[in-house]
Structure 1
Amino acid sequence: MWWKLIMCVCLPLVNGRRSQCYWNNKNPYTYFGSKTPYEAVRGDFRDVPPIKGCEPVNVWFITRHGTRHPSPMDAAAMKEASALKDKIINSHKEGRGEMCAQDVSDLQNWKWNNLENNPSILTQEGFIELLAFGQRFREKYSSFLDNLNQSRIRSTDEKRTRKSSKGFIKGLEDFGANVFVDDPIREDAVARPYRFCKKRGGEVINSTLASDEIRRYQETAEFKELQKNVQERIGSEEVLLPRTIMAIYDLCRFYRAYSVVKRSPWCALFTDHELKILEYVEDIKHYFRNGYGHPMNRLLGASGLKDLYERFEATVSSGHKSFIGYFSHDTMLDMIYTALGLYYDYPEISGLERIKNRKWRTSFLTPFVANFVAVLHRCTKMSTLKYRIQFFVNEKEVHICGNRVCGWYGFREKFQQFANASIDFCNESTTLYYV
């Protein structure tokens, strides 16, 4: 009978409660919205078969910076929530709470490490992520990079993006490539048009659209159950506010993102099911601030894609090989996906209930180092020049025209709409809010 007792102990529990300890979970959940490590979700250029009979003549890409430290606002909330550490330890000593002994011990050994001293700065792991990205890029397109007529890299005017571009270029240079770097532009209509868009500040950032939908979701039975479960694990009689739970979530995912193999003891407060719930909160935020939740986001994404269209047109006209890259932020990647009509869900993302099989998942769309890459190929067949365009999201091939690649006319049909993109509408409001 003893073996039956062991089996009962090991069986999962219901209602989202933990079925095992975090410390010995062999396959912990790795998807943390926009704080997801790139290694957890990326593909690999090198594994994608080449397009037969074709050679790259223009590569255009836009990339998010690598793993960074939390912002001042996030760091302050995380530090406040970290005060729960002593309460968790004391509860465990007094026989209260539902956390495993080793998870409590790991939390006891955890230290704050003064994250507020380096707000939003790229971590060492973030630099390595970009260096490896550059190395894979170089290996995939070595012949193309050795025979360029033009190469340009530009980042936004932030330390984390500038350092990210340096990591990427170092990865290229490890294989001998030479790339020219442009100085950041304060009002960059390609890499960060939303940064100086006054109208967005008034109608999107200063609005309550995203926060209202998040609060709506946090009132659902699903989120309320999460609140109750975490409170019982802590062993506290005080009701945990949603903002405290989200700060604990940040303690989990920021420390987890510093290394693809590292763990954060704060993650022990959540089951995998509950991490999916918290991931959805992040998706709601991005959907309404940067994505389909507001029509302005599509217009701002079109501003970046205008540059892509014009540069491919120039290459077809001149025959010159060109390599153009921008280092930006998750906001811009979200806007580009929206302008292209990618990852749209019906029913749409909302706070009414969690859409489990949704396409709009920030963990896969805008992890650290998220990137959108377009490659123009020139193909020679029976002495006739033809062009094919291939697209990647996070080094995975995406089929924007339905087939594996776009023909030139299919590309123009899809992208010519961006040729007249304008952000003149941004000056229609007097409210200015930077993010």
Structure 2
Amino acid sequence: MYSLSLLLASLLVFSSIHVSITREIDFCFADEDDPYLYMATKTAYHFIHGGKTRFQTIPNCRPVQIWMLAAHGTRCPTVDEIDKIVALTDLKEQILNNHETRGEGHMCNRDLENLRRWQPGEYLVPQRAEVLTPQGVEDMKLLARRLQSNFPELLLPNANNITAANYKFRASEARESMASFMESLFGSRMAVLPEDSSFNDTLLTAYKTCGIWEDKKHEQSLKNMERIKFDAGSEFQNLLKNVSRRLGFLYSISIETIDAMYDACRYEKAWTVTKLSPWCAVFSKEELRVLEYREDLDYYYKAGYGRDINAHLGCPLLHDMMQHFGNIANDQMSGEPKGIFYFSDVISLQNLLTAMDINEDSTQLTSYNYKDMARRQWRTSLISSYAANLIAVFYKCNDNNDRNKIMFYLAEKPVRYEGCQVGLCDWEFLKRRLGKLASRCNLDVCWNMNGASSSFPNSIVILLICVILVRLGYNRQL
């Protein structure tokens, strides 16, 4: 009996060793010294900024106004995303079972052990949906400190100059990001009373008021055909097959499951920049690049150069910037603040970049040119991560040709703007390049292009109401 028990134990040990030996490993993410960190719009700003200040000192010039549009800092997922990430708990057990019981799968033991220990954390509860995380607060506070350090002439406060006349603040749903920024700048989250902003804010979120942009009844409105074709193409289909095989499944898992694992990977990496998320071990570096491009495609048509409407939607913000700078160029300093700080979302930021022709590629992003676009300019990881920002600084200079100059920074790096000297632009040049668009910000285009909207312009609505009222009055007289 003793010998039989010993024999069975030996067979079990041999069996487990055999499974371990025969299971081929694709890679071991836990041992990766150089992990891929670019996760499209959910990239941590820490990895984009890199702790390096690239603001320039302009010889013979003094800054007189700073204008900024920033996206919200790192935050929690939406309620829908939370539900899908929490549901990965069941998938985790299946993956472990595939490897340890069935001998399928190609993840290394260290990655499996990290996955075993994974549980949905404190941020993955509905009550925390879309709330700024501690990292998000830090994003904004450090941005404010770097600006203050580099532009003390404008942003070093005293007891008398912290007023709404000197500093203009406004936010859409990014109010917590604005408050964190303001607290770091001035020592209080309520140091300056911000301007009112409604849900339908035609300055900060013009796209939300635009019938063509949001009309889901029309196929080319928000539905991205290039993204759909990319999902059906070889790069993404190979990703589905390889990830499924790596996790030990004999069939291709769903696109929704891929999305949930990718979201878990990038949210957790953005929340805690010094830790690796176990869900990132699911994907190879090349697969993460494919997923990044897939989201770039999405936003290219949703908010970027893929549709003409997006440049129109960036126009109100461009007009605001040019109007403030125009007043200073004309020495109309009265009523002009030292700093103008707007906080919105990545769609509004991308709309503005599109209106200004910043980071435009000579070739369109499509479903079939992924490999050709490896060096693309439209890369959401770099231009619209968490806490992404466009900053413009107006200078008065001792220059006989053009005393007025503007420097542009995207994510605190100088914008290589065509016609400018590494981001430093003459005001007269900017007026010629952008003035025409900025002076014609007519969002009627949202209602009149190809009859695409199912909504009526306000003037027609008012006319119909008048006709109805007149008709009712006529009937009463009868």
Q: Is the pair's TM-score, using the shorter chain for normalization, greater than 0.5?
A: yes
What residue is the counterpart of 1:4 in the other structure? none
Cα offset for 1:40? Answer: 0.6
What residue is the counterpart of 1:91 in the other structure? 98
Residue 353 (1) aligns with residue 369 (2): yes
Counterparts of 1:61 and 1:18, CA distance in 2: 47
Residues 203 and 92 of structure 1, relative CA distance in 2, 3 Å threshold: closer
Q: 1:362 aligns with which of 377, 380, 386?
A: 380
Cα offset for 1:413? Answer: 1.0
Report the residue type matching 2:38 in the other structure: Y
Counterparts of 2:25 and 2:181, CA distance in 1: 40
Residues 284 and 308 of structure 1, relative CA distance in 2, 3 Å threshold: same
What residue is the counterpart of 2:206 in the other structure? 193
Check the 8 A contact 1:190/1:305 in 2, yes or no: no
Residues 20 and 186 of structure 1, relative CA distance in 2, 3 Å threshold: closer
What residue is the counterpart of 2:80 in the other structure? 73
Counterparts of 1:195 and 1:24, CA distance in 2: 44
What residue is the counterpart of 2:67 in the other structure? 60
Gaps of 5+ in 1: 1-16
Instruction: Single out whichever of 256-265 and 384-393 deviates more from structure 2.
Output: 384-393
Residues 18 and 298 of structure 1, relative CA distance in 2, 3 Å threshold: farther
Cα offset for 1:175? Answer: 11
What residue is the counterpart of 1:334 in the other structure? 350
What residue is the counterpart of 1:240 in the other structure? 253
Please, what TM-score do these two structures have when normalized by structure 1?
0.88
What residue is the counterpart of 2:111 in the other structure? 103
Q: 1:394 aligns with which of 411, 415, 419?
A: 411
Counterparts of 2:359 and 2:242, CA distance in 1: 32
| 1:88-143 Cα distance to aligned partner (Å, 9 max, x none) | 11112122211111111111111113333321111111011101111111111112
Check the 8 A contact 1:82/1:248 in 2, yes or no: no
Residues 51 and 425 of structure 1, relative CA distance in 2, 3 Å threshold: same
Q: Once the two structures are aligned, what percentage of the paired residues are identical? A: 28
| 1:26-56 Cα distance to aligned partner (Å, 9 max, x none) | 1111000000000111266844331111111
Residues 230 and 19 of structure 1, relative CA distance in 2, 3 Å threshold: closer
Counterparts of 1:366 and 1:345, CA distance in 2: 16
What residue is the counterpart of 1:212 in the other structure? 225
Gaps of 5+ in 2: 1-23, 457-478
Residue 141 (1) aligns with residue 185 (2): no
Q: 2:195 aligns with which of 178, 182, 187?
A: 182
| 1:143-170 Cα distance to aligned partner (Å, 9 max, x none) | 22248662111001x2xx1110011111
What residue is the counterpart of 1:50 in the other structure? 57
Check the 8 A contact 1:63/1:371 in 2, yes or no: yes
Check the 8 A contact 1:210/1:284 in 2, yes or no: no
Check the 8 A contact 1:138/1:175 in 2, yes or no: no
Please, what TM-score do these two structures have when normalized by structure 2?
0.81
Counterparts of 1:430 and 1:419, CA distance in 2: 28
Counterparts of 1:305 and 1:406, CA distance in 2: 15
What residue is the counterpart of 1:9 in the other structure? none
Residue 414 (1) aligns with residue 433 (2): yes
Cα offset for 1:377? Answer: 0.1
What residue is the counterpart of 1:319 in the other structure? 333
Cα offset for 1:289? Answer: 0.6
Structure index of larger Rg = 2
Q: Which has the higher contact order (CA 8 A, sep 6+)?
A: 1
Report the residue type matching 2:144 in the other structure: G
Cα offset for 1:351? Answer: 1.1
Instruction: Single out whichever of 236-245 and 252-261 deviates more from structure 2.
Output: 236-245
